[in-house]
Amino acid sequence: MTSTVNLLSTSKCFGGLVKRYSHYSECCACEMKFHVFEPPAATSKPAVLLFLSGLTCNDENFITKAGAIEYAYKNNLFLVCPDTSPRGCKIEGEDDSWDFGTGAGFYVDATTEKWCKNYNMYSYISEELYNIVNKQFSVNVNKWSIFGHSMGGMGALVIALRNPGKYQSVSAFAPISNPVDCQWGLKNFSNYLGTDDKSKWEQYDPSILARNYKGSHIDILVDQGTEDNFLEEQLKPQTLQDACEANPQHLALSLRKQEGYNHNYFFISTFIKDHIEFHAQHLNQQ
């Protein structure tokens, strides 16, 4: 059973349509919103490219600020831009922090009593929304790739590494690469997953997953600005690079250090063309 999606708005852009939808999410037990970009009708059904946003964002930031639509149009890709957390669930403390709770679902399935009813963004993205998009839109259901920014870069890497074959490629802008070993990860994982069983945390850590990954080969593109204020304390791309280099049979990471760039959408918009073309190359292979 797929939930009904409700069209909230439509805007023409680069000959295609930007649409915003809401729907009741079974995974999150609340109403969720997402944006899509449908490229202009072509002879072939578009492949799907899913973007996961970072802390404090909702489903609007990427579609309005990244400059992605021009390149999705040029490469006949169907963009999907979900929200970053459940909203309005009336859980005590959900709105107290900018880096935890609302706007910060961390793409996990929560296991603690307080959060487990709603905060299930891992299953929401990798199963529920995946099925909704494949059933409700005219897309190539066998061609998906995934990317994201910061917390969403982490989510994209985790979802790709835990679902071999489901995504043709994965990329990230400034991903949280080793969340079990940074303050953002400790704060969110301890609340959503508890502190008793740290093996649960490892299921959401890109570097640990990359080191142990044995599935079909994945190409990974990561861009990291050298002036990113979160680089040293929170992001730790070197740990991901070390993990991928230890697993060369299965993973090929291209980590590009972009001199002078910081953590915002001015950085993302500069390199969005490269990321979309990277995914288009993988999605358009036979």
The residue (of 37 and 192) whose beta carbon lies closer to its own copies is 37
Q: Could you tell me the smallest distance in angstroms from the CB atom of residue 19 to its own copies?
A: 11
Asked if 1 contacts 8 with a C-beta cutoff of 8 angstroms, the reply is: no
The footprint of its own copies on residues 266-285 (CB under 8 A) is 266-267, 269-270
Q: According to CB under 8 A, which one of 1, 44, 249, 260 is a site residue for its own copies? A: 260
What whole-number distance in Å separates Cα of residue 15 and Cα of residue 13? 5
Residue with tokens 């295609």: 16
The residue (of 113 and 259) whose beta carbon lies closer to its own copies is 259
Q: Could you tell me the smallest distance in angstroms from the CB atom of residue 12 to its own copies?
A: 4
The footprint of its own copies on residues 35-94 (CB under 8 A) is 64-65, 67, 69-70
What whole-number distance in Å separates Cα of residue 232 and Cα of residue 174? 11
What is the bridge-based pairing of β-strands 251-258 and 218-225? Answer: parallel
Asked if 141 contacts 134 with a C-beta cutoff of 8 angstroms, the reply is: yes
Active site residue 150: yes
Please state the φ and ψ torsions of residue 69, each to the nearest 5 degrees. -65, -40
Asked if 27 contacts 123 with a C-beta cutoff of 8 angstroms, the reply is: yes
DSSP bridge pairs for 252: 219
Q: According to CB under 8 A, which one of 11, 142, 183, 195 is a site residue for its own copies? A: 11
- Assess 12 for contact with its own copies (CB under 8 A): yes
Residues in the site for its own copies, rule: CB under 8 A?
11-15, 18, 64-65, 67, 69-70, 225, 227, 260-262, 264-267, 269-270
User: Which residues does the annotation mark as catalytic?
Assistant: 150, 228, 263
